[in-house]
Amino acid sequence: MKVKFMATTGIIAALYIAVTMLVAPFGFTEVQFRISEIFNHLVAFNPRFSIGIILGVFISNIFSPLGMYDLIFGVAHSIITISIFVLICKLVKNITVRLVINTLLFTFTMFIIAFELNLALELPFFWTWLTVAAGEFVVLAVGAPIMYLLNKRLNFKNLI
């Protein structure tokens, strides 16, 4: 494994953790605005970023008030959704379209988190799916143009 890859993976994980902890009260409940989810868009530029993101989700969820529920369901959500997205990226080459698909895919798959919250806190499934999906959509929809513009400056594909 190259040093550049390991360093970049560590930086992505650290950024994900830092941003998650910065807004922790809004990142773990039925109304989630986990701003660190913006880093999911990095996979649109290079699928190798997924390891840092998943590692960041895992470490962040260690500090979740939901304990093992968040470690299992939160990490599974990221792995499943990113895996589906990587497969989609093999067919879709346009970055703008990828960012839109990523936003919609992560928003839709928030049913996994809604199921977790239903199990852990006995929250109503469909209402919780709506609230966590809304938070995810806002973060990723606002984040997509930001990541697109950052990519023009930083060229994410070549950073890892």
Domains by residue range for the chain, with CATH: 3-158 (1.10.1760.20)
Query: Average pLDDT in the 39-50 region?
Result: 98
Contact status, residue 66 vs residue 116, Cβ threshold 8 Å: yes
Q: Which of 3-17, 25-39, 88-102 has the lowest mean pLDDT?
A: 25-39
pLDDT exceeds cutoff 80 at 106: yes
Q: State how far Cα 53 lies from the chain centre.
A: 7
Q: Which residues of 6-30 are buried (b: 16+ CB within 10 A; e: fewer)?
A: eebbeebbebbbebbeeeeeebbbb
pTM reported for the whole predicted model? 0.94
pLDDT exceeds cutoff 90 at 146: yes
Query: Which residue blocks in 3-124 are alpha helix, DSSP H?
Result: 3-22, 50-62, 68-69, 75-89, 95-108, 111-121
Helix/strand/coil (H/E/C) assignment for every residue in 105-137: HHHHCCHHHHHHHHHHHCCCHHHHHHHHHHHHH
pLDDT exceeds cutoff 70 at 62: yes
The band of 160, judged by pLDDT with boundaries at 50, 70 and 90, is: confident
Query: What is the CB neighbour count within 10 angstroms for residue 94?
Result: 10
Token duo for residue 28 = 């773990």
Contact status, residue 138 vs residue 106, Cβ threshold 8 Å: no
- Helices 50-62 and 3-22 meet at what angle, rounded to 10? 40
